[in-house]
Amino acid sequence: EEPQPAAVPSCPLPSKTCDVARSERPRSCCGMAMAGFRTAKYQLPEWHRRNAGVCYEAFTAGEQAERGRAEAKHLVKHAAASAQRAQQYSKATLGQRLQDVHFWRMELQKEIMELDAETKLLAAQKLRLERALDATEVPYAVVVDNLECRERRQPPDLVIDEVERQLLKEADLIRDIRDLLKRTIIQATTQIRSNRIQKENCELDWSDKVETYHIDDKCAGYCSDSTNVQFHPSSVKFEENASTPKSWAQFSHDNISRAEQEKLASVQLRSLIHSIIRDASEDLRRQRAAGDEALESRCRELGDAKLRLEQRLQQILKDIGEEEANIVNLKEAIRAKEAHLKVAHTRLYDRSFRPNVELCRDEPQFRLVSEVEELTVFLEALKRKLMESEQNLKNLEETRMKLEKEIAVKANSIFIDRQKCMSYRARYPVDLEVASYK
């Protein structure tokens, strides 16, 4: 409690009456002659009154000076105590302000470190996305090469089979994965930029807090004995753009809140990136297995078809040999029957020269005619059979050529599917998720 000033009772000063004896001396006639001297001098009562007034004024001035000294002494004591209390209170408020500044400075520093660490983790996930995107180039090139190689199959085997459907599905899947990875990379880049912008805002706020802390700490160290203090009258007024304690705290709170939001969005995006890479890798692995299985099945199917064609070709070659032997036998039989027919014709011709009545229709004549007819029928039948055999041989030769062509087509298809496609697919990355870490 401030000390109260001492009360000085006020009382009127004692009055003193001075009696001056009047002179009873009669006025003389020379008074008029001495008038010039009398006007420059005081009368005795006036002199006494003046002395009394001077003494009163001196007494009054002394009384007033004494009261002034007492009031000054009290004012000095009161001002000293009040200034000390004001200085201590200001120092206490500066100390409290230092605590508040230190609290928000540490919170901002913590948020900056966490946001920086989160940005680095997100950048690592973005690098995984880029590596995964690069790793999809080989599978896509493999699939495109497989499709182009299979376009070189010959027309009988140039069919839209299960292998082609699986390869087209795989190509579409890889394109979708690449598009998804590219969109996610853009999203990650945007989030990293947002993280860095918010980190910069927090760093600016933190830097201001550090500077403010040093200023207030310096101010808290000032005292009356400090040698580096001086008058700054213009600093007493408030700045127009000065903030209030509420807006000051709200500003840092908003920065930290936005940083927390960006950090949460970054954490969610990292989890999404991990899921995307894992799911894409699993989908690609399953589709690759489906394509490999379809190729294996198609190669087995082509191999079985080629084997059946080769077996059939062996049988056709055997039939061709037998048919050629049959044609040779038929030609020999025809030649033999023609020789017998020549003999019969010659006999009939020679007997036609028998003279007169000897030209008889005897039994030998009938027999020779019957033999000629029988031989003619046999020859016609043999010639027809020869023609049929020759046509059959021609058909067998055409069938042989078709089989050989089909076998060559199947061999070409097997070469493309097994040697070109399957061997090239061996370069396929084992796992997209594993490739994203390399």
Q: Is residue 312 situated within a structural domain?
A: yes
Q: Is residue 346 situated within a structural domain?
A: yes
Whether residue 170 contacts residue 107, with contact meaning beta carbons closer than 8 Å, is answered with no
Q: Encoding tokens for residue 157?
A: 């085997």
- Sorted by sequence, the CB contacts under 8 Å of residue 206 that are 6+ apart come out as 105, 108, 109, 112
Q: Is residue 357 situated within a structural domain?
A: yes
Domain range spanning residue 371? 305-437
Summarised one tens digit per residue, pLDDT across range 375-430 is: 899 899 999 999 999 999 999 999 999 999 999 998 998 898 888 888 888 777 66
Q: Is residue 86 situated within a structural domain?
A: no
Residues of the chain with pLDDT under 50: 1-11, 13-31, 33
Per-residue pLDDT at 7: 45
Q: Is residue 100 situated within a structural domain?
A: no
Distance CA 298, CA 428 (A): 20
Q: Is residue 431 situated within a structural domain?
A: yes
Per-residue pLDDT at 311: 92
Per-residue pLDDT at 39: 53
The pTM of the full predicted model, rounded to 2 decimals, is 0.70
Whether residue 195 contacts residue 119, with contact meaning beta carbons closer than 8 Å, is answered with yes
Number of domains within the chain: 1
Distance CA 165, CA 373 (A): 69
Q: Is residue 314 situated within a structural domain?
A: yes
Per-residue pLDDT at 398: 92
Per-residue pLDDT at 438: 64
Per-residue pLDDT at 276: 93
Per-residue pLDDT at 8: 42
Phi-psi region of 356 (alpha: psi -120 to 50; beta: other; left: phi over 0): left
> What SS3 state is found at 159?
coil
Q: Is residue 126 situated within a structural domain?
A: no
Distance CA 248, CA 208 (A): 12
* Exposure letters 189-216 (e unless 16+ CB within 10 A, then b): eebbebbeebbebbbebbeebeebbeeb
Q: How far is CA 298 from CA 159, 292, 316, 330, 415, in A?
A: 12, 10, 26, 46, 12
Using the Cα atoms of residue 286, residue 290, residue 291 and residue 293 in order, give the sign of their dihedral: positive
Break the chain down into helix, strand, coil percent, rounded to 5.
80, 0, 20
Summarised one tens digit per residue, pLDDT across range 323-377 is: 999 999 999 999 998 898 889 889 888 888 888 888 888 888 888 888 889 989 9
Per-residue pLDDT at 159: 84
> What SS3 state is found at 240?
coil
